[in-house]
Amino acid sequence: MKFFRSKKYNSLTELVLACQRLEPSAQTIFYERYKAKLTGICLRYAKTKMEAEDIFQEAFIKVFKNLNEVKDIASIDSWVKSVVIRTAINYYNRTTKDQLLHSSIDDFPKELESADYDTIIEQLNVEVLLKIINQLPDIYRMVVNLHLIDGYTHAEIGKIMSIPDSTSRSNFMRARHLLMKKLQEKGITQYENS
């Protein structure tokens, strides 16, 4: 039994404005609107589900606390997404220990063509694919997510992660190769099992 009927907000602008006025019902609706999408982002950037939870909560708190700064409400979706991504990166800047990144570009032979990776990715279950990304070292996982999935340029990545563009580029090259290697392994395993 519902004691209180939720307020209706006719548009996203009304909802955001109500959130800016700290109306609890609006904040609840806002949370419901973004929770699933942001969970997906957090799970991609995090190594484990627990870390994803930390990032998710920290990000949402930042979103609610900084919602007043949003002037262009039409771009709220991308703003919320960027807050989550920045939170994830900060999280790993705070917690990541120096990882030994010995992955060399020449470490594994290229046996597959680009179309093959497309096929492998298509065939893989999203959870399996997520697991492959989660297993990447933190810096590689960040750059794969930022560049390949979220579409940031290396210049933007360099700015977000406070590293030179070139570092981002080289990180990405290593990350991409490691990912392809893992995909290849997974593809072969899956092929052998099928």
How far apart, in whole angstroms, are the C-alpha atoms of residue 55 and residue 31? 15
Binding residue (CB under 8 A) for another protein from 94, 100, 102, 194:
94
**Residue 129: CB minimum distance to another protein, A:** 6
Q: CA–CA distance from 34 to each of 27, 75, 77, 79, 91 (Å)?
A: 11, 14, 8, 12, 20
What residue type is 24 in one-letter code? P
Nearer to another protein, 72 or 159 (CB): 159
Candidate residues 35, 75, 111, 159; the one interacting with another protein per rule CB under 8 A: 35
One residue of 13, 28, 68, 135 binding another protein per CB under 8 A:
28
Q: Which is nearer to another protein, 5 or 72 (CB)?
A: 5
The dihedral region occupied by 22, where left means phi > 0, alpha psi between -120 and 50, and beta the remainder, is left
How far is it, in rounded angstroms, from Cα 191 to Cα 187? 6
What is the identity of the amino acid at 189? T
Binding pattern for the stretch 38-67 against another protein, x by CB under 8 A and - elsewhere:
xxx--xx--------xx-xx--xx--xx--
Q: Is there binding between residue 182 and another protein (CB under 8 A)?
A: no
